[in-house]
Amino acid sequence: MKVQNVLVFASLLFAFASCTSKQEPDTDPDPEVPEVVVSKGAYKHVVIIGVDGAGAFFRDTDTPRCDEIFAEGATTYRSRMALPTMSAQGWASILHGVLPEFHRCTNAIIEKTPYPVNSLYPSVFRVVREAMPDAELASFVEWNPINIGIVENTLGVEKGTGEDDAEVTGRILTYLRSKTPTLMFVQFSSPDDIGEKYGFGTDIYLSTVSTADALVGRIYDQLKLKGILDETLFIVTADHGGKGKTHGGDSDEEKYVFLGIAGKTVESGTIVEAEGRDVAAIAAYALGLEYPE
């Protein structure tokens, strides 16, 4: 089977490898790889939506909105999260672009301790702010410790939280009616909450992932209504999955998550290799910024 497409972000911490058919991995030992198709600074806006605890379970339930959004995008169900597969470690790796041994975030720490604004490992929010002083930045989450201990203070990031994912979505839609973010991060919590209570992969859990998919679609629709979708890199991923009623280990169910990327320059296909920490570098590169070494 020939390689169909490629998504390469030059000078990133990680460059996407060749994209293959969505049905099975490429078996050609020496595939012909097309030219780089993504140029630096191709986007004015980046939206990152994270679905806590959803892992790769997107493939096991109905997700019509993500299916639609990423039909012409690049996806994988095997984006690897660092260990331990916990929320603080996962979200900090996604937003700071480094492994937990560098950002050192844990659930207990981020609940009370602001992330140091002079860290050698800044979030992508700080990277954008330092390069683009007037950029509109936003972080809307259900789990507020993210806005305390992962997204730095003093950056002028508009931060919001809600009692549940639906309330978070409502706040985002209200925000988008009047403001246009250069970078926006969103976190939904319900799949993780339900997974820990009833079990990851159970029917009620999978239904919750489907509900989150619908909320992703509402945000996507609002971006389209604003007329900025063509200039937006749209990313959906997760911080970890789960096995039984827990997570934190290195099983495939826990460490592999969905990653979907859609945008005007993104070629359709399956991402062969990815890690959670790649997301921050991809976001910065898409906006035309140099990410710290």
C-alpha to C-alpha distances, 24 to 1, 19, 112, 236, 274, nearest whole angstrom: 9, 11, 45, 22, 17
Q: Are 249 and 51 in contact (CB under 8 A)?
A: no
pLDDT at 227: 97
Name residue, tokens 């992330």. Answer: 115
CA distance 195 to 84: 17
Query: How long a stretch of residues is the chain?
Result: 293
Q: What is the pLDDT of residue 9?
A: 39
Full-prediction pTM beyond 0.85? yes
Q: pLDDT value at position 14? A: 36
pLDDT at 39: 57
> What pLDDT score was predicted for residue 291?
79
Share the mean pLDDT of the chain: 89
Of the candidates 23, 284, 144, 226, the one whose C-alpha atom is nearest the C-alpha of residue 218 is 226
pLDDT at 160: 98
Residues 6+ apart with CB under 8 A from 288: 40, 41, 42
Q: Which residues of the chain have pLDDT under 50?
A: 1-38
The pLDDT value recorded for residue 33 is 31
